[in-house]
Amino acid sequence: MVKKGNLYMLLLILFFFLLAAFEAADIVFPEMIHSIKIVSYITLTIYIASTFIIFFLLKEYDKKADEFQKNQKKMENIFDTLDVAIWSHDMKNDSLLITPGIEKLYGYKMENFYEDTNLWKEVIYPEDLYVLEDRGQKLAMGQPVTSQYRIIRPDGEVRWIQDRGIPTIDQKGDFVDFNSVLFDITDRKESEGLYQSLVEMSPDIIAVVYNGKIEYINEAGCKLIGADCQAEVIGQSAKNFVSSQITDLIKSRVFSTDKLETERFLFEFQVRRTDGESIEVEMAARTILYEGRFAVQVVGRDITQRKKSEQTIKFMAYYDTLTGLPNRNQFRYHLNEILHHQENKTHAVIFLDLDRFKIINDTKGHTVGDIILQKVAARLENAVQNEGLVSRQGGDEFIILLEDSEKENASRVAKRILNEFSTPFEVYSDEFYVTPSIGISIYPTDGTDEEALIKNADTAMYQAKDHGKNTYQFYSNNLDGISTWKMKLENWLRRALEQEQMTLHYQPQFDLRTGQIVGVEALIRWTHPEYGYIAPAEFIPLAEETGLIVPLGKWILRRAFEQRKAWKDAGYEDFPIAINVSVRQFQDENILPFISEMIEEVGLEASYLELEITESLMQNLDNSTIILNQLKDLGVQLSVDDFGTGYSSLSYLKHLPIDKIKIDKSFVDDIISHSNKGMMVKTIIDMGMNLKFSVIAEGIETEEQVKFLTRNACQIGQGYYYSEPLSAEKFEEFLLKGNDPAQLE
Ligand code: C2E
Ligand code: MG
Ligand code: MG
């Protein structure tokens, strides 16, 4: 460019030269020149003015050029800091311009790119070279293309480059020039990669839905839906998996807010899997910008298991899991509701307990027990029909609530229940006879609240059990009468001991094969001077309740053992005497010293003493184990009375020093009375023998029972069939007669 100063000088010289030329012309041709001179002066004035204008414009131009240069420098600086490089190739002149930013991007010197114009391509990460194919084709058609690829810098570092190529093509289709803008996008790519892997690997379901179509879904989402791959799901309508009410609801909620992209909404709904199954999900939804448009993003998880557990917990809170019947909680809730809303009506509460269920459970196993309970539940529902609510309280106890029911109706239902139990329960081709004992209380006569009604129905149930089981009993509120009788009995009992109203009877026990006496059981007898005979079943529980059994029990032990000593002295040597001992007696810490002293004082070997304990002793197993072991150490024999009616389990018994189990009379009765023909007796004998106990059957009344028992390897028996309990004298006569087996046939 022409320098500014020179231009001004040139213009000034030109001006003075013109001035001199005019003055000279004026001297040589004064007339002629005058008019020309005027024109020339005007021209000169214009010239001077324009010179000044030009001068001014040039100055302005200078300023602009300066600014342009400054801006250019600024731009260069910006490019330098932005990690941007520009590659500009003018094909016509074959001139290449590369901005210095390329050095920062690629790590190579700028000269390297001028020297080798293919260098940019050579450093591309081999796996990314494929992008160039598509790029080349598009550029050839004159289309701008944005490509992303990785390059390897000389120090080995891998960077991501975004390359925006813009070609210019002339009419002939030849390249005129080509410009490319190159960015380093490594940071963005890395964070994108990080987020992408977070999304892909997330165990939560992540999906994007635009316009009702699934635009994106991660692997967890595919798995949830039951699809093999993302391609199977992407592009499908969300309504293929979720009901349209739900998709509409989500859409309307997420777009209803002003805070798009930030406010999220929670939903729980069902998803239909590709296999047709339904699952429960919990999802958070909000809007996001996805490829430039507002779409719905959902993030959530499968909560099917949680829902199921919640339902199970709910169910367990109100239903019995084994039978599916309402449980205690629901029953109580229901009863209270009825007492609250129908207080003017009469309602019945039926308490039902299964007789001898425990023994089936123990001998046949819990699986059989559970099946029986389920069948019992079904039969109860059948008997009650829609007249009331059948519930299981736990164990083998059931309570039925008959709404708006008088005594007569309750009685009808109770009979129907008993009738339902008249046929055996068949489990794994075995038949079980299970009978219920039923107690009934009536609202409002027998109680006005839940507690009283249940308690009184329970009491009535025990009365039913006392009345021989398999029956029903209404609660009798004649409590005054009962307590008066009990008080009277207690008084009598205290005096009975002092006045020696009690005696002992003795019932022999036999070897079932040989008919030999192998034992004798001492049984208490009480004849009240005024009242007459009072059965042990009547007064023993009261003696236990009042603690009178402790002195009474000691008296029995001593009397019976002394009697046994007398018989031994009389020559009857070979059998022990069995004496019943109540649990209450074991609570007396004196029991052990008492027994050992007694044995000493009576002067008979401990092996002659057999103690009959009941299964209720097992309730305090730790304590019982200690005492029983101490008794065993003394040499005393131990047998479990009424086996099968209480709460013991054979598996407990095997850890105790037990010698013998006495099968309860009710099982022995089954041999002849039920079609299952003594199956329980057989099971008890088998199990007892397996555990190395001797087994004795009590309450034998018929020959058929004897035959059955011998056939099934039961060794010992006792019962009216052989002999009723006898006074000491009668028993001696019995002994004297000799146990002639022939007599027993
Ligand atoms: P338990 O120890 O099981 O005694 C057997 C009961 O069955 C006795 O009744 C006996 O008379 C009766 N019995 C024996 N064979 C037959 C039979 O073939 N048919 C029938 N129907 N009954 C038979 P008992 O004497 O009335 O005693 C009842 C219960 O009272 C005893 O049952 C026992 O638990 C208790 N008890 C009796 N004496 C005593 C005692 O001295 N001390 C304690 N603690 N309890 C006793
Ligand atoms: Mg007994
Ligand atoms: Mg018994």
Q: What is the DSSP string of 135-166?
A: HHHHHHTT--EEEEEEEE-TTS-EEEEEEEEE
179 SS3 class: strand
Nearest CA to ligand 1 atom 13: 699
Query: Exposure of 452 by Cβ count < 10 A (0-12 exposed, 13-18 middle, 19+ buried)?
Result: middle
402: Cβ contacts below 8 Å, ≥ 6 apart: 347, 348, 349, 350, 384, 387, 388, 409, 410, 413
Nearest CA to ligand 1 atom 43: 580
Report how far residue 709's alpha carbon sits from residue 718's, in angstroms, rounded to the nearest whole number.
12
DSSP secondary-structure letter at 24?
A: H
What are the tokens at 534?
Answer: 């009072």
Q: What are phi and psi of 598, to 5 degrees?
A: -60, -45
Name the band, by pLDDT with cuts 50, 70 and 90, for residue 79. low
Report how far residue 576's alpha carbon sits from residue 610's, in angstroms, rounded to the nearest whole number.
6
CB 253 within 8 A of CB 269: no
Question: Buried b / exposed e across 353-363, counting CB within 10 Å, b at 16+?
Answer: bbbbbbbbbbb
Whole-number Cα distances in Å, 100 to 96, 103, 105, 117, 163: 13, 6, 9, 15, 16
Report how far residue 560's alpha carbon sits from residue 543's, in angstroms, rounded to the nearest whole number.
19
Which residues is 432 bridged to in the sheet?
425
Q: Residue 389 region, left (φ>0) first, then alpha (ψ -120 to 50), else beta? A: beta
Ligand nearest to the CA of 540: 1
Nearest CA to ligand 1 atom 4: 523
CA 698 / ligand 2 centre spacing (Å) = 9
Q: Is the CB of 536 under 6 A from ligand 1?
A: yes
CA 275 / ligand 1 centre spacing (Å) = 68
Sheet hosting strand 293-302, strand order edge to edge: 213-217, 205-210, 293-302, 278-290, 265-272
CA 372 / ligand 3 centre spacing (Å) = 26
Q: Tell me the per-residue pLDDT of 299-327, one tens digit each, with 9 for 90 and over.
A: 999 999 998 888 888 888 899 999 999 99
Report how far residue 700's alpha carbon sits from residue 723's, in angstroms, rounded to the nearest whole number.
10
Q: Tell me the per-residue pLDDT of 488-524, one tens digit each, with 9 for 90 and over.
A: 888 899 899 888 899 999 999 999 999 999 999 999 9
Name the band, by pLDDT with cuts 50, 70 and 90, for residue 146. very high
Nearest CA to ligand 1 atom 12: 699
CA 528 / ligand 2 centre spacing (Å) = 22
423-429: long-range pairs with CB below 8 Å, 24+: 424/674, 424/675, 424/676, 425/371, 425/372, 425/375, 425/376, 427/364, 427/368, 427/371, 427/372, 427/375, 428/368
CA 419 / ligand 2 centre spacing (Å) = 32
Q: Which helix (H) or strand (E) element contains residue 461? A: helix 450-466
pLDDT at 446 over 70: yes
DSSP secondary-structure letter at 448?
A: S
Report how far residue 579's alpha carbon sits from residue 611's, in angstroms, rounded to the nearest whole number.
5
Q: Tell me the per-residue pLDDT of 598-625, one tens digit each, with 9 for 90 and over.
A: 999 999 999 999 999 988 777 677 788 8
Q: Quick check: bond before 576 cis, omega within 30?
A: no
The string of DSSP letters for 657-673 reads ---EEEE-HHHHHHHHH
Most confident of 99-113, 426-440, 673-687, 709-723: 709-723
How far does Cα 540 stand from its chain's mean position?
A: 49
What is the pLDDT averaged over residues 653-670? 89
Q: Are strands 435-443 and 347-355 parallel, antiparallel or unpaired?
A: antiparallel
DSSP secondary-structure letter at 645?
A: S
Nearest CA to ligand 1 atom 19: 699
CA 612 / ligand 2 centre spacing (Å) = 6
pLDDT at 479 over 80: no
Instruction: For the domain covering 315-478, report its CATH number.
Output: 3.30.70.270
Q: Is the CB of 639 under 6 A from ligand 1?
A: no
Largest Cα separation within the chain, whole Å, is: 198
Q: Is the CB of 641 under 6 A from ligand 1?
A: yes
The lowest-confidence range among 372-386, 454-468, 631-645 is 454-468
Residue type, 716: I
Nearest CA to ligand 1 atom 35: 536
Q: Tell me the per-residue pLDDT of 9-39, one tens digit each, with 9 for 90 and over.
A: 777 777 777 777 767 766 766 666 666 667 6
Q: Which atom of ligand 1 is nearest to the CA of 560?
A: 41
Report how far residue 470's alpha carbon sits from residue 438's, in angstroms, rounded to the nearest whole number.
8
C-beta neighbour count of 597 within 10 angstroms = 12
CA 553 / ligand 1 centre spacing (Å) = 15
Report how far residue 565's alpha carbon sits from residue 14's, in angstroms, rounded to the nearest whole number.
168
What are the tokens at 698?
Answer: 């009590």
Report how far residue 553's alpha carbon sits from residue 567's, in angstroms, rounded to the nearest whole number.
21
Q: Which atom of ligand 1 is nearest to the CA of 612?
A: 2
Q: Which atom of ligand 1 is nearest to the CA of 725?
A: 11
In 3D space, the residue among 616, 614, 680, 615 whose CA is nearest the CA of residue 435 turns out to be: 680
Question: Buried b / exposed e across 6-28, counting CB within 10 Å, b at 16+?
Answer: eeeeebeeeeeeeeeebeeeeee
For position 315, what pLDDT does the model report? 81
pLDDT at 742 over 50: no
Q: Are strands 517-528 and 502-511 parallel, antiparallel or unpaired?
A: antiparallel
Question: Buried b / exposed e across 711-733, counting CB within 10 Å, b at 16+?
Answer: ebebbbbbbebbbebbebeebbe
CA 508 / ligand 3 centre spacing (Å) = 13
Name the band, by pLDDT with cuts 50, 70 and 90, for residue 362. confident
Residue to probe by mutation, ligand 1, list 504, 512, 542, 580, most atoms within 8 Å of CB: 580
In 3D space, the residue among 77, 106, 91, 69 whose CA is nearest the CA of residue 179 turns out to be: 91
Ligand nearest to the CA of 505: 1
CA 397 / ligand 3 centre spacing (Å) = 24
Which residues is 434 bridged to in the sheet?
none
Q: Is the CB of 560 under 6 A from ligand 1?
A: no
CA 549 / ligand 2 centre spacing (Å) = 15
Q: Is the CB of 537 under 6 A from ligand 1?
A: yes
What is the pLDDT averaged over residues 469-480? 77
Residue type, 68: F
Residues with CB under 5 A from ligand 3 (ion): 641-642, 698
What is the CATH class of 502-736? alpha beta
Report how far residue 433's alpha carbon sits from residue 568's, in angstroms, rounded to the nearest whole number.
44
Report how far residue 540's alpha carbon sits from residue 276's, in angstroms, rounded to the nearest whole number.
68
Q: Is the CB of 517 under 6 A from ligand 1?
A: no
CA 504 / ligand 1 centre spacing (Å) = 11
Which residues is 182 bridged to in the sheet?
85, 163
Ligand nearest to the CA of 663: 3
Q: What are phi and psi of 612, to 5 degrees?
A: -95, 110
Q: Which atom of ligand 1 is nearest to the CA of 556?
A: 41
Residue to probe by mutation, ligand 1, list 523, 534, 701, most atoms within 8 Å of CB: 523
For position 740, what pLDDT does the model report? 47
Q: Which atom of ligand 1 is nearest to the CA of 581?
A: 44
Q: Which atom of ligand 1 is nearest to the CA of 701?
A: 18
Superfamily of domain 84-189: PAS domain (3.30.450.20)
For position 483, what pLDDT does the model report? 64
Q: Is the CB of 699 under 6 A from ligand 1?
A: yes
Ligand nearest to the CA of 669: 1
Superfamily of domain 202-307: PAS domain (3.30.450.20)
CA 641 / ligand 2 centre spacing (Å) = 5
CA 360 / ligand 3 centre spacing (Å) = 18
Query: Exposure of 38 by Cβ count < 10 A (0-12 exposed, 13-18 middle, 19+ buried)?
Result: exposed
Q: Is the CB of 535 under 6 A from ligand 1?
A: yes
Nearest CA to ligand 1 atom 25: 523
Q: Is the CB of 723 under 6 A from ligand 1?
A: no
Query: Exposure of 94 by Cβ count < 10 A (0-12 exposed, 13-18 middle, 19+ buried)?
Result: exposed
pLDDT at 56 over 50: yes
CB 456 within 8 A of CB 441: yes
Instruction: Report CA dihedral (628, 629, 634, 638) to the nearest 10 degrees.
Output: 40
Q: Tell me the per-residue pLDDT of 548-579, one tens digit each, with 9 for 90 and over.
A: 999 999 999 999 999 999 999 999 988 999 99
Q: Is the CB of 395 under 6 A from ligand 1?
A: no
For position 524, what pLDDT does the model report? 98
C-beta neighbour count of 696 within 10 angstroms = 27
Report how far residue 333's alpha carbon sits from residue 331's, in angstroms, rounded to the nearest whole number.
5
CA 579 / ligand 2 centre spacing (Å) = 7
Of 149 and 672, which is predicted with more confidence? 149
For position 29, what pLDDT does the model report? 65
Nearest CA to ligand 1 atom 15: 719
Q: Is the CB of 585 under 6 A from ligand 1?
A: no
Name the band, by pLDDT with cuts 50, 70 and 90, for residue 680. confident
Q: Is the CB of 468 under 6 A from ligand 1?
A: no
Q: Is the CB of 556 under 6 A from ligand 1?
A: yes
What are the tokens at 333?
Answer: 């809730």
Ligand nearest to the CA of 534: 1
Report how far residue 101's alpha carbon sits from residue 112's, in angstroms, rounded to the nearest whole number.
13
